[in-house]
Amino acid sequence: MISDAITRIKTVRKRIAEATRRFSRSPGSIRLLAVSKTRPVEDIVTVFNTGQTCFGENYLQEAVPKIEALRDYPLEWHFIGPLQSNKTRLVAENFDWVQSLDKLKHAQRLNAQRPKNLPPLNVCIQVNISGETQKSGVHLTDLPTLAQAIGELPRLRLRGLMTLPTLRHDFEQQRIPFRALRIAYFKLQDSGLVLDTLSMGMTGDMEAAIAEAATFVRIGTGIFGERESGVQDLSWTSKLKFGQITEN
């Protein structure tokens, strides 16, 4: 329900503000990314009307029609799902940020495919901070080399790092992987890279991420509520003009 989303995002903002004070962070130093995957345009507009402008999407099949439908809204779109080589052009053409970059070949394709009439594409490198085989992300040992290579691509702007660690419930345990990413981030800065973004923390662990210097928290269920299980309902996209998503 519309009123539920409005109430939830107010609660999220209150949690961010309280964590900001608790951990002596500067007011306004933490941005909220509303993860709108599987959510219809109507829900995004509802959340936008509360002042939210940054939205994250995982699936190109549903994201591109949403972006097209909302072109007249001053929104900032972040791609946060796994990248595929045959889909990079659509990402380069439609998104303002990519937070899930973990391969040089994908970076090179995004760099070549970013339209000249658009500013450089903001990117974060996704780091597999917990070393989980089922998750995407570069390992810490390979991060410096990848970061230096991406930093040399003129149509990309390397902003920082993103991670999705193993879910933990203890606050101090939650801080451990976020602290490791923060240390890696500052090491990259010391190497000469100009970075300003640490994207980490979700509904269940945003306070721990804020304690460890997060500048973006990615919140889905905390804003939109629990997602329904099963196949995504994309029937609303039938009213939009959108072709097959493939790019060789």
pLDDT above 90 (res 70)? yes
Condensed to tens digits (0 to 9), the pLDDT of residues 103-159 reads 999 999 999 999 999 999 999 999 999 888 888 999 999 999 999 999 999 999 999
Which residue shows structure tokens 């500013």? Answer: 119
Q: Please give the average per-residue pLDDT across 7-16, as a whole number.
A: 98
Query: In this predicted structure, what is the pLDDT of residue 246?
Result: 40
Q: Please give the average per-residue pLDDT across 87-97, as a whole number.
A: 98
Q: What are phi and psi of 19, to 5 degrees?
A: -65, -35
pLDDT above 90 (res 211)? yes
Q: Buried b / exposed e across 56-83, counting CB within 10 Å, b at 16+? A: bbbebebbbbbbebbeeeebebbbbbeb
Listed range (53-57, 226-230, 244-248) with the worst mean pLDDT: 244-248
pLDDT above 50 (res 42)? yes
Q: Please give the average per-residue pLDDT across 75-98, as a whole number.
A: 98
Distance CA 204, CA 198 (A): 17
Distance CA 190, CA 117 (A): 32
pLDDT above 80 (res 242)? no
The CATH T-level fold of domain 2-224 is: TIM Barrel (3.20.20)
Query: In this predicted structure, what is the pLDDT of residue 1?
Result: 57
Condensed to tens digits (0 to 9), the pLDDT of residues 159-179 reads 999 999 999 999 999 999 999
Q: Please give the average per-residue pLDDT across 173-188, as a whole number.
A: 98
Give me the chain's average pLDDT, please.
Answer: 92
Q: Give the model's confidence band at 238: pLDDT under 50 very low, under 70 low, under 90 confident, else very high.
A: very low
Query: In this predicted structure, what is the pLDDT of residue 3?
Result: 74
Domain definitions of the chain by residue range: 2-224
Q: Please give the average per-residue pLDDT across 187-193, as a whole number.
A: 98
Query: In this predicted structure, what is the pLDDT of residue 2?
Result: 67
Query: In this predicted structure, what is the pLDDT of residue 155?
Result: 99
Q: Please give the average per-residue pLDDT across 43-64, as a whole number.
A: 98
Beta carbons within 8 Å of 140's beta carbon, 6+ residues apart: 127, 129, 180, 184
